[in-house]
Amino acid sequence: MDYRSLGRTGVQVSALCLGCMNFGGKTLEAESMDMIDHALDTGVNFLDTANVYSRGRSEEVVGKALKRNGQRDRIVLATKVHGRMDDDDILAAGNNRRHIIQQCEASLRRLQTDYIDLYQIHRPQSHTPIDETLRALDDLIRAGKVRYVGTSTFPAWEVMESLWVSKELGLNRFISEQPPYHLLDRSIERELIPLAQTYGLAILPWSPLARGFLSGKYQRGQDIPGDSRFASDIATNNTPFVERTHQHFSDLAYGVLETVEALAAEKGCTPSQVALAWCINQPGVTSPIIGPRTMAHLEDNLGALDVTITDEDRARLDAVAAPEQAIVPYYTGKMIDFKPPQHRW
């Protein structure tokens, strides 16, 4: 297993991070716990979850698994806060001090631990001043309940603003950002990656397989499988994922997939392993987050660590997945409220 520094902290994390979103939900508890054990046995020491994943069930399963195997102190445990935890409570969401501190305590209970290694703000929220968010996180660090703090799906300008505010106010700063990044959306290469390299931020890409599209399970001209996440989004009219689903199944996207499949055939591996290996070895990337649903998915994902991506391979992929073109863009106003309020901090 290759290990890399978590941003400027010096903490060493595995080149793949085990994402636990499915655990306790689509993946039953017993298999989830076995998958965590298997990942740790292969050298993975980085787990990522969130309070909103199955409304706390993912955290509970992760906590039980770490209690069972006794390896809590040997892993870097990350979770997130921001999303709504109660549909009937207007206070049960957001980046404000009240919600952050309340949910940190709840996550600690579910995870059965005294501290969280990396506590991340799951999404930006323009109507909450960033200094309020940072002060709450700083207090949690000073109380010993959190070691480091990071962001998820923040645009580069908001990450930069947070670094400036932390410096101005003498607060602990974000050390990582968790953005969507894969061959169908390389938009973070424009600003976020250079920012991260300049200021020592870890980049922890989520959805490195483009929600499974780059695994090769979808073929041009065929119907979308009924048990897939894409079919579920369409059936439930899950806006804005429906629009992005159609972008996934465009001619441009299939062109990328077919090149990935050709490289996989040449290397004797799976398409998902090629796509993951590409992401792992991109400049500025620390640890892509895999989101396996089954043990077979996990074993396949781990196999990407043995796949070599050459300069020639990168050139072939660049030809169909141009860095300047986001085939499946994520950073849009439909997903995130970018409009800054007056008197932001």
- Per-position DSSP letters for 61-108, written without gaps between them: HHHHHHHHHT-GGGSEEEEEE-S-S-TT-TTSSSSSHHHHHHHHHHHH
In a domain, 26, yes or no: yes
What contacts 224, CB < 8 A, 6 or more positions away?
218, 230, 231, 234, 245, 249
Percent of the chain predicted with pLDDT > 90? 81
Tokens 């892509």 locate to 288
CA 338 to chain centre: 20
| pLDDT at position 50 | 98
Do residues 87 and 57 make contact, with C-beta atoms less than 8 angstroms apart?
A: no
In a domain, 325, yes or no: no
Asked if the bond preceding 179 is cis, omega within 30° of 0, the reply is no
Residue 225 pLDDT class (50, 70, 90 cuts): low
In a domain, 137, yes or no: yes
In a domain, 341, yes or no: no
In a domain, 333, yes or no: no
- Is a pLDDT exceeding 60 seen at residue 240? no
Q: Which residues constitute the domain of residue 72?
A: 3-320
- Is a pLDDT exceeding 80 seen at residue 230? no
Nearest by Cα to 200 from 223, 236, 166: 166
Report the first-to-last Cα separation within the chain, whole angstroms.
43
What contacts 43, CB < 8 A, 6 or more positions away?
1, 14
Please state, in angstroms and rounded to a whole number, the distance separating the CA atoms of residues 183 and 147: 32
Could you read off the pLDDT of 61-113 as tens digits, one per residue?
A: 999 999 999 999 999 999 999 999 999 999 999 999 999 999 999 999 999 99
Is 53 annotated in the active site? yes
User: Parallel, antiparallel, or unpaired: how do β-strands 12-14 and 3-5 relate?
Assistant: antiparallel
| pLDDT at position 237 | 59
pTM score over 0.85: yes
In a domain, 332, yes or no: no
In a domain, 328, yes or no: no
Could you read off the pLDDT of 116-154 as tens digits, one per residue?
A: 999 999 999 989 999 999 999 999 999 999 999 999 999
- CA distances 67 to 26, 42, 62, 64, 102, Å, are 22, 19, 9, 5, 23
User: Of these residues, 3, 53, 115, 119, which one is catalytic?
Assistant: 53
**Overall number of domains in the chain:** 1
In a domain, 166, yes or no: yes
Give the CATH number for residue 255. 3.20.20.100
